[in-house]
Amino acid sequence: MEINVGAVISANRKQKGITQQALADFVGVSKASVSKWETGQSYPDITLLPILAAYFDVSIDKLMAYDAQLSSTEIRRIYTSMKQAFETQPGDAVLKSIRNLIRRYYACYPFLLQMGLLILNHYDLLPGASQTAKVTEYVNEARLLFVRVRQNSQEAQLTAKAVELEGYSLLLLQRPDDVLALLGEYVPEQLPADSLIAGAFQQKGDLQRAIATSQSGLMQDLSIIMSQLTNYMTLLKDDPNRLAATYQRGQAIAKAFDLATLNPAVWLNFQLAALNGFAQQDKTDEAVALLQAFTHVLTATKMPLTLHGDAYFDAIEPWLEQLDLGSQSPRVSGQAKQVLADFVLQNPALAKIRTLSEVQPLLAELKQVSGHR
């Protein structure tokens, strides 16, 4: 951690119009010692910090230019910086920076939550002997951050996020009993806060804010239901009729909201789940058609991925800006496209599909996206 106590001493001394000699006399050191503090050649003895803080009438934390808390803007900036570092630096160097930041701001619980999320979103890019080893080490490291937030934060919303992310981490670690112990065995009833907030704005006569709130709720619900349908399809490899019905319903929603353009990441994952299911059920025609649509959207999707509205969701920009990470994607965008392409190129369930002559041009496009030749 960088210590700037010398610069703070110099600024406070000059502000009060005090000479180095006067400060030295009060503290009981030489003028040369004060000079070395201010130029960064040495630091005051720890026993002198309370005396210096009292002399300048500041806290010790302020004297050391240390603030244990970060603003939401600072947290977002650090997350973005660390995310971008994965594109230019080795994984071990980025990991070292992340861990140093965590130690420095270990009492800033919103920051710890975002650093845990950063690790979860990029653990595959960190050093490790195997993917399994990476999950064991880094997902558990993120989980412990979420546990700290859950146990220590006094903010209800932050604690709720920490609980959900802890549950997700436990699932990745293949600890299903711990997931159920943490979250329960049944989905809790939920009262949609967006409807209440929109209703409150409507009662106040602020129709524009009511509409914006409803749109942001719809946007979230759309992503949630598509993600739920995606997960549901992974359970239906032995139920062809239900898989087809689920895909049909999800596709109708996706088409109605132009999801391929509005939120391509959600749309692409939905298509992949269906592609995988149809391939496992030997529904070749359906799988090939899905692969064509998937490849077209993936190659056409521009980077970086961001959350955004459209002609229908035309009032959500203020809501996007207040999100923890703003409108940015939580993962390095280039890596996101590569991961999606690699799923098709490497997934054993799609081995038979990859041998078909009609999909070879599609595979060539995906190899370009992935970086394979």
Residues 264, 276 contacting (CB under 8 angstroms) = no
State the distance between the two ends of the chain, measured CA to CA, in whole angstroms.
44
Give the per-residue pLDDT at 338.
87
Give the per-residue pLDDT at 372.
63
Residue 335 has pLDDT above 80, yes or no: no
Coil, helix or strand at residue 328:
strand
Residue 277 has pLDDT above 60, yes or no: yes
Q: For residue range 321-334, what is the model confidence (pLDDT) as tens digits? A: 999 888 888 887 66
Residues 179, 170 contacting (CB under 8 angstroms) = yes
CA-to-CA distance for 327 and 335, rounded, in angstroms? 18
Residue 265 has pLDDT above 80, yes or no: yes
CA-to-CA distance for 311 and 97, rounded, in angstroms? 41
Q: Label residue 1 by pLDDT band (50, 70, 90).
A: very low
The packing angle between helices 264-280 and 240-256, to 10°, is: 160
Give the per-residue pLDDT at 188.
86
Give the per-residue pLDDT at 310.
96
Residues 268, 299 contacting (CB under 8 angstroms) = no
Q: Mean pLDDT over all residues of the chain? A: 92
Residue 373 has pLDDT above 60, yes or no: no
Give the per-residue pLDDT at 333.
67
DSSP-H helix ranges across 153-206: 156-172, 176-183, 193-203
Residue 200 has pLDDT above 80, yes or no: yes
Q: For residue range 20-68, what is the model confidence (pLDDT) as tens digits? A: 999 999 999 999 999 999 988 888 888 898 899 999 998 887 887 767 7
Going through the chain in order, the beta strands assigned E by DSSP cover none
Q: For residue range 104-127, what is the model confidence (pLDDT) as tens digits? A: 889 999 999 999 999 999 999 999
Other CB atoms closer than 10 Å to residue 125's CB: what's the count?
Answer: 18
Give the per-residue pLDDT at 189.
85
Residue 212 has pLDDT above 60, yes or no: yes
pTM of the model: 0.78
